[in-house]
Structure 1
Amino acid sequence: MSVVAAAPSESAEPPATSPARRGSLAWRPHLPVAVIALALATYVTSGLWFDPANRGLTENLGDQAFFEWVLGYGVYTLGHGADPFYTWMLNAPVGVNLAANTSITVYSTLFSPLTFLAGPQVTFVTILTLNLAASGFAWYLFLRRYLVGNQTAATLGGLFCGFAPGFVSHANGHLNWTAGWIAPVVLWWVLKLREPGKWLLHGVVLGLLVAVGFSIAAEGLFFTALACGVFVLVWSLAPATRAEARAAAPRVLAALGVTAVQAGLLLAYPLYMHFAGPHTFTGTGFNQAHYAEDVGAYVEYPNRSLAGYAGLGSKLAPNATEETSYFGVPLMVLAVVAVVFLWRRAAPGRRSTLAALSTVAVIFMVLSWGPQLRIFKTETGFKLPYEALRDLPLFDSALPARLALVVAVVIGILLALLADRLLSESLPVRTGALWTAVFAVALVPLIPMPVRTSLRSPEPAFIADGIWRDYVSDNGVMTALPFATTDTADGQRWQAYTMARAGKQFRIPGGYFLGPGGPDGVGQIGASPRNTDWLFFQAAYYGTLVAVDDFDRLRARQDFAYWGVEAVFLPDEITGSHTGLFRSAVETTARDLLGEPQRVGGVLLWRIRPGVDPVDRNSSG
C-alpha cells in the first residue's frame, strides 16, 4: 500500500479532541457505545444464536458452510501441522489453494479453541456477531479520535458505518466482508505515520495490521488502500493542506517502507501461494457484470430493514447477500446536503477533507456500477470506467458492487460531521426539531432487521457419533450425496464438523471453493463435474431421474477410482443452499447406480471397492 498519510488539517481548525485525550483514550465513556454495538450485532444475528447447530442463513447456506469448513480446518491445521494455505481435504485428489480463497486464516487459528469445544457453527455466529459489533465501535473510535468532538455524532456515524445496509446484507454468510473494523484500524495507523519520531514503530504496527487484514479480507483491504490513496491524493493537492502534506511526506514514506518490509515478510508465503502457487487462477468464478450495482439501487431500500419489512424493499441486487448500497432517496439527499452545509461553514483545511471525501464517494459509486451502466434493470450498453479496469491485477478478482461499501462509509462520516456541527451550534428549537426529523426520515427506514434463518438438515449420527470411522481409512475419501457444491453444501459441513473434533479424518471430492478450470484460464466455482457427481447433482437440484445403464456404472467405477472414494452415504435429510433438494430422486439414482445400501447411523451407506461394479458389490450386502 503506497499512500502519503495525512489527517484533516488541524492547523486550519481546532483539534476535535484535547491533547491529553489524544494521548490516552478514557475508555469508560466509550463502553456504552461498545455495548450498543454488541447488542445491535446480536440482534442482527439473533436467528442463528437461537440454535447454532441446526439453523442456517436462509439466503446463503453455501457461504456459511464454506466458512464453517474453514473454521473446522483451523483445528485440523493445528492438530496435524497441515498447510493453512493449501489443503488436500477438499477436491480429492487434487486439493485446493486456500490462499486464493477467503480462508480467514487469522480467525480460523485464533478461534480454534472455541471451534474445538463448541463446533464451527458456534464459532461462525460468534465471529459474525463480533465482526459487526467491532466494525461499528472501531469506526466510532476513529471518528471520535480524528474528525468529531461530540460523542453522539461519533456514535451515529460509527454505527452507520458498521451497520450500513451493505454490511448487514453481507451478514448473510460473509465473515470477510462483515469485518468492517479492518478499515478504521488500518486508517488509524496510516494517519499515525505522520507523527514525528515514531515512524519506525508505526510502520511495523501498520505492517502487522496489513498482514492481518489480508488474511481476513484481502478484497476489503484492497478497497481500503484504494480509497485511502484517492483521499490522500486529493487532500494533498488541495491548496490549504498542500504544505502540511509536503512536510509529512518524508516521515510517511519512510514508515511505509517499513510497512512494506514487515508485511512482505509476514505475507511472503501466502502471497506466493495466492499468485503463483499450485492450482491458482486469475479472476473469479463470478461474473463482474452481474455483480455490479444498479444505479437505481442507491435510491431503493434494502429488504432486511424497517422499510423492507414495510414492503418497500427492492430486487435490484444480484442476491440478498449483495445489497451493497440501498440507501434510499432521503439519505442520498441528506448526504449531498451535508456536503453543501459543511462546505459553507468550513475552514479551508476542513474543506480539503470534504473535497477528498466527496471525490472518494463519487469515484467508488461510479466504479460500483461495473463495466456497463444499468438503470432499474435496464441495460443501457453504455460502457463505464470499470470496463478499463476489470482485467487488471486485483481488479480482476474484485466484484464491483462491493465498492459501494466504501460509499456507505463516506456517508457515515458525513453524517457524523454534520451531526457534530449541528450539535455544536445553538440552534433554535424549531430548527433543531427540523434537523432531527430530517435525520429520522433518512435513517429510521434503514434500521436493520435480523438476518433470515431456517432449519437445515441435522448432523446425522453417522457423522456425529464417529460411526463413519469404521468404513473409511484414515485420510481416505468419502462423500455425502449429493456431492458437495455451492448449492449442495451438506457434505462439506459434515467434514467440517469432524475436522473440528480432531482425530481421524476423511477427505471429500469436489466441494465449494474457487479454483482453476473456467473459460480462458480464469477461475470457477468448485471442481469441474464428472459424470457421476453430475448425475447426483441433477437428481438433487432438479429432481431429474435418468435411466442408469451399464455405461453410467462404468463411468461411476472410473470416477470413484479417480477420486479414491471408499464410501458414499445419503442422510435422511438434505438441505440446499438456495432451494429445496429432491432427496427421493437422489436415493433412486443411488440405488440404480450403486445397488442396495446398508442402513447405519441415520444414513444409507454404500461401500466402494476399487475394480468392483457398484451394483454387483452392493447386491451382495
Structure 2
Amino acid sequence: MAVVALSAAVYVCQGLWRAPYRNVLADNVSDQGQFEWMLSYGVYLLQHGSNPFFTTLLNAPKGVNLAMNTSSTFYAVVFAPLTYLTGPQITFATILTLNLAGSAFVWYLFLRRWLVRSGLAAAVGGLLFGFCPGLISHANGHLNWTSGWMVGIVAWWVLKLPEPGRWLRNGIVLGLLCAMGFSVAAEALFFTALASGVFLGVWLLSRRGLEKAKTSLKPVLLSLGVTAGVASALLAWPLYMHFAGPLKFSGTGFKMRFFSEDLVAYAGFPLRSVAGMFGWGSDLAPNETEATSFLGAPLILLFFAAMALLWKRSSPSRRITLRALAVVAGFFFLLSLGPRMRFMGEETGIRLLYAGLEELPLFDSALPVRYALIVVVVFALVIAMLTDEVVRSKGSLIRSRSGRIAAGVAIVAAIAPIAPTPLRTLERAPEPVFISSGRWQDYVSNHGVMTSLPFSLDVAVDSMRWQAYTMARGGDKMFRVPNGYFLGPQNYGESGRHMVGRLGPPDRPTDRLFLRAARWGQVPRITNLERSQARADFRYWKLEAVFLPAQVTGQRGMLLRDPLVQLATDLLGEPEQVDDVLVWRIRPGVDPVDQWEQR
C-alpha cells in the first residue's frame, strides 16, 4: 500500500519533479513561494536562534507575526537539512509528495486498526481520502492542508482515550501530537479537535447501559485533562503570539461568504480529474485551491446507499459508530456552507449555522469551505466499510454474490470519475546570479533592506523567493525586504495591534506604482511630487537598493518588465547593470529628486 500511495503521489506531483528549480504550481504560484520562504526560514531559525513566531525579515520595518500565518514550523525545522542541501524547491516538492502519500497510508492503517478487516477495503478508503478532490486542490500550494496524515494520527489516538488504565499515557501522547499538529496545520488541528469532540460525544452517549458509559467517560476525561496540560505547556508561546502577540489581528483577510461551499459543488466533478478531462468538471469553487468537495453525484448516492445498508444489517455496536459518523458529516457539511447559502455560484439570502459562529474565536479564523474535508473523511470511512462487505465471502452483510459484484462495480464507477490528474505547472523566473553568487552583498548592508521589483505581495513573490534562497544557503549575512505575502493587520495605528486582518501590509503610493506597471504596463508621468512621495516611502522602509532581474514571475506567468525599467528609471535615474540584473542604489537621506537630477 505504501508503494502504491507513493507512486500515486509522484504521479500527481510529476510536473514539479520534472524541473523542481524552474517549475511552479500553475494554479497557485504565490502560495508555493510563501511556503518556500517558510521552509527556508527553518534554516535561518536554526542557524541564528531566531524567534520562530515573529520576524522582521519580511515587511520591514514592522515585521510579521508568523504564529498567525501558515508558518508550518514543524516542516521548516525537520526538513531544514534537506532545505540547506538542496534548496526549498526540492523540500517543497518532497513534503507535498509525502503529504499525499502519507495521508493515504495513515488512513489505510487507521481503517485496518479500527473499522475494517480487509486490506483492500482499507486501501480503497485510504486512497479515496489521500487523493480526494479536496486534497488534490489544496496540493496547489498548501503544505498545511495536504497534511491529512496528521489528522489521521490524532484521530487514531483520540479513539484510544476510552482505554481503561491508560489515561496518563494516552493523554501525554495526544498532547504531544496536538503540539506537533499545531505547528503543521493549526486550522486543520482545530477541525480535527472539533470533529473528535462531536464523534466522542455521540459515541459515548450512545453506549448501551449507564455503567458502560461511565466506564468509558472517566478515562476519556482524565486523558483530555493531561492532553490539555501537555499541549498548553508546549504551545504557550505560539498561542500567546497568536492571541496577544505583536501585529495580532482577527479574521483571515478573506471573505467568509465568498470562501464557502456551494451546495451543488458536492455533487459536481472536479476540473482536475478524469471526469474533468471529458469536460464534466464543475467550476463552482472560490478558486482552484479551494475546490474542497466535488465528490460527484455517483459517490454521494453510493454513500447514502452504503449508510442505509450498513445501518440495516450491522450490529448495535457498529450502528453507534455509524451514527457518530453521520452526525459529524452532517455538522461539518452545514459548517462548510458558510454563513449564507450559495447555489449554482450565487449567494442566496438564506442564513445558515455559520452565521452564528463566524465572530467566535477560532471560527473567525477558519474558511468555511475547508470544513468539507472532514465530510470527505467520513465518506472515505463509510466507502471502506462497504468495500469490506464486498470483498468478504463469509459473514458479509451483502448476502448474495451478485449483490457483492454489483456493489463492487458501483464503488469503482463512483470513485473513478474523481481520480486526480497531475497538478498543472508553469515556468517561473530563475534565481538571478546577482543573488546566487552573493554579489548582492555589495549593495546592501547586513540585514539592510533591499527588494526586487515589483515589491513582494500576493501576486508577485519573487522578492521573497530571492530572500528565501539566500536564507536556505546559510551564512551570516542577510537582507530584509519590505512588504511580502502574509496575513497581517489592516492598519498598524500607533500600537500595531489593529484587529482586522488583510493580505500583506497597508498599501503605500510607491509600491502601488510598481505593481500597476508590472501587471498592466501603466507608467504615469513622474514628477517631483512622486519622487518626494518615494522619498517618504523609502525612508519608511529604510530601503538601500532595488533590483530587477531579466524575468519577473506573476500569478499566471511572467509580469511586464519593460514598464518596470521605465518607471524605476524615471523615478531613480539610470541603473547599473550588475551580472544579470539592473540595480538602483538608494542613498540614505538623499531625496530621490536630487538623486534623479544627479544621474
Per-residue CA shift, 1:38-63, capped at 9, x if unaligned?
Answer: 11111111100111111001010110
- Residue 435 of structure 1 is matched in structure 2 by 407
Letter in 2 for 1:34: A
1:568 aligns with 2:546: yes
CA positional deviation for 1:473: 0.7
With over 3 angstroms needed to count, the CA separation of the structure-2 counterparts of 1:146 and 1:488, relative to structure 1, is: same
Secondary structure in structure 2 of the residue aligned to 1:381 = strand
CA-CA distance at 1:154 after TM superposition:
0.6
CA distance in 2, matches of 1:340, 1:491: 55
2:198 maps to 1:230: yes
* 2:30 aligned with 1:54: no
Q: 2:471 aligns with which of 479, 488, 499?
A: 499
Q: Does 1:157 align with 2:157?
A: no
Aligned pair partner of 1:606 in 578, 581, 584: 584
Partner residue in 2 for 1:446: 418
Q: CA deviation at 1:246?
A: 2.3
Q: Does 1:486 align with 2:458?
A: yes
**Equivalent residue for 2:183, pick from 215, 222, 226:** 215
Provide the residue aligned with 1:555 in structure 2.
533
Provide the residue aligned with 1:125 in structure 2. 93
CA distance in 1: counterparts of 2:408 and 2:563, whole angstroms: 58
Structure 2 letter corresponding to 1:600: V
Q: Find out whether 1:332 has 2:310 as its counterpart.
A: no
Contact 2:262 2:342 in 1 (8 A): yes
Work out the CA distance in 1 between the residues paired with 2:172 and 2:199: 23
CA contact (8 A) 2:25 2:426 kept: yes
Asked if the contact 1:99/1:273 (under 8 Å) is kept, the reply is yes
CA contact (8 A) 1:300 1:328 kept: yes
The answer to whether the 8 Å contact 1:285/1:518 transfers is no
Contact 1:54–1:458 (8 Å) recurs in 2: yes
The verdict on how the C-alpha distance between 1:597 and 1:99 changes in structure 2, with shifts beyond 3 A counting, is same
Instruction: List aligned pairs for 1:112-261, cutoff 5 A.
Output: 112-238=80-206, 240=208, 243-261=211-229
Cα deviation code 1:162-220 (max 9, x no counterpart): 11110010000000000011111011111222222221111111110000000110100
Kept in 1, the 8 Å contact 2:135–2:146? The answer is yes
The answer to whether the 8 A contact 1:517-1:527 is kept is: yes
Aligned position for 1:17: none
The answer to whether the 8 A contact 1:235-1:242 is kept is no
CA offset at residue 585 of structure 1? Answer: 1.5
Q: 2:517 — aligned with what? A: 539
Query: Which consecutive residues of structure 2, in runs of 5 or more, have no partner in the other structure?
Result: 493-497
Residues 81-113 of structure 1: CA deviation (Å, up to 9, x unaligned): 110100010000000000111110011001000
More deviation, 68-77/425-434: 425-434
Q: Which whole-Å CA distance do the structure 2 matches of 1:123 and 1:135 have between them?
A: 18
| Paired residue secondary structure (1:506) | coil
Q: Which residue of 2 aligns with 1:8?
A: none
Is residue 524 of structure 1 aligned with residue 502 of structure 2? yes
SS in 1 for 2:546: strand
- CA distance change for structure 1 residues 588 and 244 in 2, over 3 Å: closer, same or farther? farther
Q: Does 1:100 align with 2:72?
A: no
Where structure 1 has 5 or more consecutive residues not aligned to the other structure, the ranges are 1-32
| Shift in Å, 1:580 | 4.3
SS at match of 1:349: helix
Q: SS in structure 1 opposite 2:153?
A: helix
Partner of residue 591, structure 1: 569
Once the two structures are aligned, what percentage of the paired residues are identical? 54
The question of 1:70 aligning with 2:42 is answered: no
| Cα separation, 1, equivalents of 2:344 and 2:79 | 42
Count residues with an aligned counterpart: 589
Cα distance in 1 for residues equivalent to 2:450 and 2:254: 28
- State the SS of the aligned residue for 2:148: coil
Structure 2 equivalent of residue 467 of structure 1:
439
Q: 1:237 to 1:518 in 2, by over 3 A?
A: farther
Is this contact kept in 2: 1:274–1:280, CA < 8 A? Answer: yes
Give the deviation of 1:244 after TM superposition. 3.2
1:16 is matched with none
Residue 455 of structure 1: aligned partner: 427
| Match in the other structure for 1:82 | 50
> For residues 458-502 of structure 1, what are the alpha-carbon distances to aligned partners after superposition, in whole Å with 9 as ceiling and x for unaligned?
111111111101111110100110000010111111100000011
Q: Please point out which of 346, 350, 358 is paired with 2:318.
A: 350
Query: What letter matches 1:563 in structure 2?
Result: W
**Aligned partner letter, 1:534:** R
- 2:485 is matched with 512
Query: How does the TM-score come out when normalised to structure 2?
Result: 0.96
The 8 Å contact of residues 551 and 558 in structure 2, kept in 1 or not, is answered as no
Measure how far apart 1:239 and its partner are: 5.2
Shift of 1:242: 6.0
Contact between 1:596 and 1:615, CA under 8 Å: does it hold in 2? no
Q: Which amino acid aligns with 2:417?
A: P
Quick check: 1:241–1:349 contact (8 Å CA) kept in 2?
Answer: no
Report if aligned partners of 2:491, 2:505 keep a CA contact under 8 Å in 1: no
